[in-house]
Structure 1
Amino acid sequence: MKTRIRAAALAFLACSFGYYFVHILLSDDMFAWAGWQMALPIIAITLVPFAFAFTGDSILSALTGANSSEFRNGLIGIGTVESFRHTGVTLNDQPQVRIEFRVEGADGKTFGSHAKMIVPLTELALLRPGVVLPVRYLPGRTDRVEVDLSGDASAAQQAMNAAMIRKGFTTPAKLEIAERGIPAQAVVRSLSVPGEIRDGHTRLDLILLVTRPDGSTFETHTEKFLPPAGVSQVQIGRVVQVRYLPENEQEVVLVLAANATTQ
């Protein structure tokens, strides 16, 4: 769509000027240059910048709610926001921002990249360093990515799970519990920090008092690696969401709030 719109705008520009100059050359009227034909190049000159501006990938994505055709089938990576800034462009009073990412690709390799997107004012405060977002990228052109707008939560979760396994934050067995386990609530009874850090995630040793669906309780110990944003959610006395399998109550997984890691 972007290419067709821009090509049409440039073709209109060329035809407008061509028709205007041919009209002047073939006319016997000394004021032929001032005829209505002069309006065509003026309109074209005005139209072309708008066509290019409003067919920018971030603008089209905001209007269509989908990724650009170039990135629609790109690989899914895990992008961690490092910084962002306003570009000065707005769409319906919503700002366009340039986001600097550190991206972990499907192969586990990391690279720096950036994306431009329109962010609603109500969501701008949620965009901060450390936030993790699924992104689409092209293996041969990793300087630019797009935030994944496909709505395919399962694909994004699979990419996140694969990254967590590679880093040693979780295991396939724990992911199975997260998928099949019984949802329950637990209270954090104790918390200790051994001091081990992996990829910016801190190891926490927790003792949880879990409430079964029938109201009875059991106590379990678990070790978790959490990003800085997730540590505040597991302080002593906090009620947390967990999942567990009835046949193995000593193994539980935490289900944390949005943009904190599920383990």
Structure 2
Amino acid sequence: MKALAWIALAVSLVCTGLYVTDSTWENGWMFGPILLVSVVPILFSIANKLDGGLAALRGTVPRAFRDAPIGIGTVVSVSRTGLTVNDQPQLEIELNVDTPNGLTFRATTRQIVDLMELGAVHPGAVLPVRYLPDGQVTLAIDASRDELQTAFDRVQLSKGLITPKQLHITEHGVDAQAVILAMAPTGEIRGDRAVVNLTLRITRPNHTMFDLIQQKALPPSAIAQTQPGSAVRVRYLPQDESEVTILTALTPS
């Protein structure tokens, strides 16, 4: 489609030049400027939408976004554009994007979304994005789990939601499994996070266990994952078992 758009652009430019050199209504070249002004922009617009849609279906991002930094977007609004690719709808997604260096900006992206994943794209949902210096974004569907976790950790640190020590544990700690033995809300709210006292039983890599009681400020998305009896991923420093970070859906706490 993009090749067709470029061909149409070349033809329209040639015809426009001929029209300008013989500027009469009857010279037959007037379709050149008409094509240039009305048809070519539409072709390029459709080509860009299809390119983005095909990239999404392939599990990649558009070429301009490859290796772009990752930010964390919170969905503000979602609407359908009317375009579909292989019966998958294109959504226009408006987000507030937080970056690892502490910046926040509003952005909009159009994305082909699998029908099975539509329920995950709703106002309030947290989605990782790749972003460009001019504020353009696309969903980071190509990023690895480790890349996403690192970006999320850095954003949380920049917003003051985790401490440098917690970041150090997340990046350098040992992976382990834990079971939530008890969760007791304190009644305190920090930002949009509920502060709770958690009792955890952590299983070390050598299968021995230790218990730990910690106070955590949990985002709303983590509450359901930290109910008593829930199994969670954690990280801790073997030389210091006084604190763990809980990894729940890319939400360290």
The whole-number CA distance in structure 2 between the counterparts of 1:74 and 1:244 is 30
Query: Out of 50, 54, 57, which is 1:63 matched to?
Result: 54
Q: What is the aligned partner in structure 1 of residue 117 from structure 2?
A: 123
Structure 2 letter corresponding to 1:249: E
Matches within 5 A, 1:1-263: 6-13=5-12, 48=40, 51-56=43-48, 58-64=49-55, 65-69=60-64, 71-72=65-66, 74-139=68-133, 141-142=134-135, 144-151=136-143, 154-256=146-248, 258=249, 260-263=250-253
Tell me the CA shift for residue 68 of structure 1.
4.2
The whole-number CA distance in structure 2 between the counterparts of 1:166 and 1:91 is 38
Structure 1 letter corresponding to 2:183: L
The whole-number CA distance in structure 2 between the counterparts of 1:243 and 1:210 is 10
Runs of 4+ in structure 1 off by over 6 angstroms are 16-19
Indicate conservation of the 8 Å contact 2:195/2:216, yes or no.
yes
Q: What is the aligned partner in structure 2 of residue 38 from structure 1?
A: none
Residues 40-78 of structure 1, C-alpha deviations (whole Å, 9 max, x = no match) = xxxx9xx8577324322x431232332242x44654322
Change (3 A) 1:241 1:160: closer
Q: What is the aligned partner in structure 1 of residue 24 from structure 2?
A: none
The whole-number CA distance in structure 2 between the counterparts of 1:90 and 1:68 is 21
The whole-number CA distance in structure 2 between the counterparts of 1:178 and 1:8 is 52
Stretches of structure 1 lacking an aligned partner (at least 5 in a row): 20-32, 34-43
Indicate conservation of the 8 Å contact 1:61/1:68, yes or no.
no
Structure 1 letter corresponding to 2:6: A
Structure 2 letter corresponding to 1:208: L
Higher mean alpha-carbon deviation, 117-126 vs 238-247, is at 238-247
Change (3 A) 1:156 1:184: closer
Stretches of structure 2 lacking an aligned partner (at least 5 in a row): 19-27, 29-35
Tell me the CA shift for residue 255 of structure 1.
1.9
Change (3 A) 1:244 1:106: closer
**Matched residues, number:** 244
The whole-number CA distance in structure 2 between the counterparts of 1:156 and 1:261 is 10
Higher mean alpha-carbon deviation, 117-126 vs 152-161, is at 152-161
What is the TM-score normalised by the length of structure 1? Answer: 0.75
Residues 23-50 of structure 1, C-alpha deviations (whole Å, 9 max, x = no match) = xxxxxxxxxx9xxxxxxxxxx9xx8577
Tell me the CA shift for residue 113 of structure 1.
1.7
Tell me the CA shift for residue 83 of structure 1.
1.9
Q: Secondary structure of the equivalent of 1:107?
A: coil
The whole-number CA distance in structure 1 between the counterparts of 2:144 and 2:207 is 36
Indicate conservation of the 8 Å contact 1:221/1:250, yes or no.
no
Q: Secondary structure of the equivalent of 1:55?
A: helix
Indicate conservation of the 8 Å contact 1:60/1:68, yes or no.
no
Tell me the CA shift for residue 218 of structure 1.
1.5
The whole-number CA distance in structure 1 between the counterparts of 2:94 and 2:157 is 25
The whole-number CA distance in structure 2 between the counterparts of 1:79 and 1:5 is 34
What is the TM-score normalised by the length of structure 2? Answer: 0.77
Tell me the CA shift for residue 253 of structure 1.
1.6
Q: Secondary structure of the equivalent of 2:120?
A: coil
